[in-house]
Structure 1
Amino acid sequence: MADKVKVIGGMENFWLYSEAAGYDITHPPTPDSPKVYPRLSVQTKEDSVILDPTKTALVIVDLQNYFLSPALGRPADSAGLQVVEKLKTVVIPACRKAGITILWLEWGLTQKDIDKMPPTLVKGFAQDSNFEADRKIPGLGVKIGPVKLGDGTIIEAGKALMQDEWNSNTYEPLATLFEPSDLRIYKNRLSGFWGGTQVEQALKSRGIRTLILAGCNTDQCVASSLIDAMSKSWDCLMLSDACATTSPKFAKDMVEYNMGGWGFLLTCENLADGIGTLKTSPTDESDE
């Protein structure tokens, strides 16, 4: 007896589900349309998920000098730096191989943003204490002053999280991996999908339907971006070991627990293994 396929969702936005294949989130035109190619299958924490890499984007959230650089007094052994290594060695190469779009979603403020910034966010950033020694950054848009890089060079870090400043640049070990085909979108709230950025237009123009999220902080900018994106009908997957936070462990645990209702949770290795299942045409299926 053939495995029954269920339609999950409405006619304008649906997944297909079967016990044998798991969730098909390739978004064919209709539930009865032929299989979408290219396609690949990833194993998540609870389910197998089939996705179309050409409709998928890796969203890298807030991996910037401001949050990660030891030159700014950030811990040299932070969990965020472990995420950087995972992205460099596993995730980004796998996504490039599969043709998955890479979106760098980062803080990048203008003076207009500062003038309209909610006091809650100003207060939150002013309370940031995740620094070693005596380093302290007064708050958003405030001049940080000089910093000493690893090679001994002293530079001006610029105003905190303002566009085109050293501190708001992509963390230097990751910045070299940026390619012209990548997207870079600046955000001005914890969420990049709250409505005040160009991210929705940029993704829709490329036909992106599925997002794989990585970055920091898990329970803050990653989670808020993910929830808003999910609410606006993007499929969301989160890489558990490519997300980090300075919050207590229970905060990250809460986000991962709720991924059962927000999307799918997987590891970097799950994603890399899934890339190995990439099929570009029905011929690839018949060759197995």
Structure 2
Amino acid sequence: MASDQVKIIGGAETFWLYSEADGYDLTHPPTPEAPKSWAVIDPKKTALVIIDLQNYFLSPALGRPSDSLGMKVVDQLLEHANPACRKAGIPIVWLLWGLTQEDIEGMPPTILRGFGLDDNFDNDRPPPGLGTDIGPVHLDDGSTIECGKVLMQAEPHDLWIYKNRLSGFWGGTGVEDALKSRGIRTLIFSGCSTDQCVATSLTEALSKSWDCLLPSDGCATTSPKFAQDSVEFKMGGWGFLLSCKDLADGVAKSYS
């Protein structure tokens, strides 16, 4: 195929453009035109989806390691991905655990058991189950706060969408309507855990025709390393793998 020849990948309703010289165009133009770089996204049709970066999973005040992989993900998002999205006007979707009492009563036993067996704490405190009132927690600065109930719904800010299963796209969360109403076609997935909530959300979104990107340093898991490696390997068929800095560099180049 000639370097300037554009190939259409997909059907009439949704398609990508590809050329050997310029790579993939994910902007979903109304008519085919040559792509301009290796992988092009349209900020107006893109959202950064941050999954489960919540105090329950990250905070040392709740017994999590202060040097955890999750905190390293937070650093990469804060330094690169989030500022780039703000600069480009890419909305940030916080897709988080947010349960009601009805959700607790209808929760599959395997999920309740999984949270009850959580072994990622670095002290002797037993992991609190879903919906359990954590009560007062003492912080390093000497203050005390009431933490409330584990992963229950709170007042939203930004664009927050609550989920009640590992995947945020399994149905009933409202995330699909929220994205479609904004014309979003491309999703950048991040958060924790890579091989669980992130991967299940990503693959369900993929099956529903969203284009998916994954910054490898924008997500993490406490599972063995091969779990992260497997998801990254699968991105060859699920979408595109990049880093938070790749995203920031792309935005900087476009908005310089």
- C-alpha separation in 2, matches of 1:201 and 1:193: 11
2:116 is matched with: 126
1:99 is matched with: 89
Q: Conserved in 2, the CA contact under 8 Å of 1:71 and 1:149?
A: yes
Correspondence for 1:222 among 198, 222, 240: 198
Runs of 4+ in 1 over 3 A off after TM superposition: none
- C-alpha separation in 2, matches of 1:58 and 1:122: 28
- For residue 4 of structure 2, what is the amino acid of its counterpart? D
- C-alpha separation in 2, matches of 1:271 and 1:80: 19
2:248 is matched with: 272
Alignment of 1:145-224 (within 5 A): 145-164=135-154, 182-224=158-200
Q: Conserved in 1, the CA contact under 8 Å of 2:189 and 2:215?
A: yes
- CA shift, 1:161, in A, is 0.7
Deviations 1:18-52 (A, max 9, x none): 01110101001233xx579xxx85xxxxxx21110
- CA shift, 1:154, in A, is 1.5
For 2:70, what is the secondary structure of its paired residue?
Answer: helix
- C-alpha separation in 1, matches of 2:249 and 2:92: 18
2:31 is matched with: 30
1:231 is matched with: 207
- CA shift, 1:137, in A, is 2.2
For 1:228, what is the secondary structure of its paired residue?
Answer: helix
- C-alpha separation in 2, matches of 1:2 and 1:244: 37
1:256 is matched with: 232
- CA shift, 1:141, in A, is 1.0
- C-alpha separation in 1, matches of 2:250 and 2:122: 39
- CA shift, 1:150, in A, is 2.6
Q: What TM-score do the two structures reach when normalised by structure 1?
A: 0.84
- CA shift, 1:273, in A, is 1.2
- C-alpha separation in 1, matches of 2:217 and 2:188: 12
For 1:277, what is the secondary structure of its paired residue?
Answer: helix
5+ residue gaps, structure 1: 42-47, 170-179
- CA shift, 1:2, in A, is 6.2
5+ residue gaps, structure 2: none
Q: Conserved in 1, the CA contact under 8 Å of 2:62 and 2:137?
A: yes
- C-alpha separation in 2, matches of 1:15 and 1:202: 23
2:220 is matched with: 244
Paired positions, count: 255
1:136 is matched with: 126
- C-alpha separation in 1, matches of 2:140 and 2:29: 50
- For residue 137 of structure 1, what is the amino acid of its counterpart? P
Deviations 1:258-287 (A, max 9, x none): 0111111001111111112327xxxx9xxx
1:9 is matched with: 10
For 2:218, what is the secondary structure of its paired residue?
Answer: strand
Q: Conserved in 2, the CA contact under 8 Å of 1:11 and 1:30?
A: no
Deviations 1:71-96 (A, max 9, x none): 00000110110111111111111111
- For residue 200 of structure 1, what is the amino acid of its counterpart? E
Deviations 1:223-282 (A, max 9, x none): 111011111110000010111111110110110010111111001111111112327xxx
State the structure with bigger RCO (CA 8 A, min sep 6), 1 or 2.
Answer: 1
Correspondence for 2:55 among 58, 65, 83: 65
1:49 is matched with: 39
Deviates more, 1:219-228 or 1:268-277: 268-277
- For residue 195 of structure 1, what is the amino acid of its counterpart? G
Q: Conserved in 1, the CA contact under 8 Å of 2:194 and 2:221?
A: yes
Over the matched positions of the two proteins, sequence identity in percent amounts to: 68
- For residue 134 of structure 2, what is the amino acid of its counterpart? I
Q: What TM-score do the two structures reach when normalised by structure 2?
A: 0.94
1:174 is matched with: none
- C-alpha separation in 2, matches of 1:156 and 1:272: 37
- C-alpha separation in 1, matches of 2:175 and 2:144: 34
Q: Conserved in 1, the CA contact under 8 Å of 2:115 and 2:130?
A: yes
- C-alpha separation in 2, matches of 1:151 and 1:18: 56
Deviates more, 1:131-140 or 1:249-258: 131-140
